[in-house]
Amino acid sequence: GAVVSQHPSRVICKSGTSVKIECRSLDFQATTMFWYRQFPKQSLMLMATSNEGSKATYEQGVEKDKFLINHASLTLSTLTVTSAHPEDSSFYICSARAMAGELRETQYFGPGTRLLVL
Amino acid sequence: GQQVMQIPQYQHVQEGEDFTTYCNSSTTLSNIQWYKQRPGGHPVFLIQLVKSGEVKKQKRLTFQFGEAKKNSSLHITATQTTDVGTYFCAGPRTGTYKYIFGTGTRLKVLA
């Protein structure tokens, strides 16, 4: 159990376009999902916390108008990188925190999305 | 702000040698988690430690949480090539469930 999927796994886009990344918890419900960004050979940096039914909270320095997050259901959160630029190229990873039960304290990570902006 | 540092940054070992990575937080942690990320992969949860001084074992891996709950270590006995990857510790930001990841230790095992 506790599987999180992300789609797409890889995306290449032109500068100025928008890219949507989906994060789904497949076999559990997640009131909270987290979005991270990881540059090559670096650690994971938390970008924002996505709460079902409410506005996402963003970490300091992360532009909320550039990284739009929607958490419409207990199993789906989306991250849209608007007007992407080459410096947005990175590995974007989501994680989901289970609502209750023995999974509750653990984050389960999706497989990540590699974004390349040309 | 709250920081979580790991040393060493890189470690190359011969297969069969032991390996240890150390994690240090600037603040006291309610718990600490460890993850492994294989090259090209995503972080995979290994374990969570909650109690001061706690020690947990998973086969060849031994995890320890410091008495002051500000540091932790992961020790691998007799490394294998399958242990290759980056090991991250992560601790929650004080008063929240948002985890701050350590800087990571990249392990290479030479056959």
- Would you say residue A6 has pLDDT above 80? yes
Specify the 3-state DSSP secondary structure of A47. strand
Cβ atoms of residues A58 and A75 within 8 Å: no
Strand B61-65 relative to strand B55-58, pairing: antiparallel
Residues of B whose CB is below 8 A from A41: 106
Give the pLDDT of residue B34: 96
pLDDT in tens, A65-115: 999 999 888 899 999 999 999 999 999 999 998 766 555 567 889 999 999
Specify the 3-state DSSP secondary structure of B14. strand
One-letter amino acid identity for B39? P
Question: Torsions phi, psi of B65, nearest 5?
Answer: -110, 130
- Cα A64–Cα A67–Cα A70 angle in degrees, nearest 5: 90
User: Looking at residues A55-69, what average pLDDT do you find?
Assistant: 94
Specify the 3-state DSSP secondary structure of A97. strand
- Would you say residue A27 has pLDDT above 90? no
Per-residue pLDDT of chain B (111 residues; tens, 9 = 90+): 889 999 999 999 999 999 999 999 999 999 999 999 999 899 998 999 999 999 999 999 999 999 999 999 999 999 999 999 999 999 999 888 889 999 999 999 999
In this complex, the residue of A45, A106, A108 whose CB is nearest that of residue B48 is: A106
In this complex, the residue of A36, A44, A107 whose CB is nearest that of residue B45 is: A107
In this complex, the residue of B48, B98, B102 whose CB is nearest that of residue A105 is: B48
Per-window interface: B 21-50 vs A, CB < 8 A: 31, 33, 35, 41-45, 48
Give the pLDDT of residue A106: 75
Give the pLDDT of residue B96: 86
User: What is the rounded distance in angstroms from the CA atom of residue B38 to the CA atom of residue B95?
Assistant: 30
Chain B: residue whose CA lies nearest to A5: B42
DSSP sequence for B61-102: EEEEE-TTSSEEEEEESS--GGG-EEEEEEEEPTTSSPEEEP
User: Looking at residues A44-64, what average pLDDT do you find?
Assistant: 92
Give the pLDDT of residue A101: 59
Cβ atoms of residues A77 and A67 within 8 Å: no
- Would you say residue A1 has pLDDT above 90? no
A28 band by pLDDT with thresholds 50, 70 and 90? confident
Q: Which residue has the higher pLDDT, A72 or A57?
A: A57
Residues of A whose CB is below 8 A from B42: 93, 109-112
User: What is the rounded distance in angstroms from the CA atom of residue A76 to the CA atom of residue B81?
Assistant: 36
Question: CB–CB of A97 and B97 under 8 A?
Answer: yes
Give the pLDDT of residue A31: 80
- Cα A15–Cα A20–Cα A21 angle in degrees, nearest 5: 120
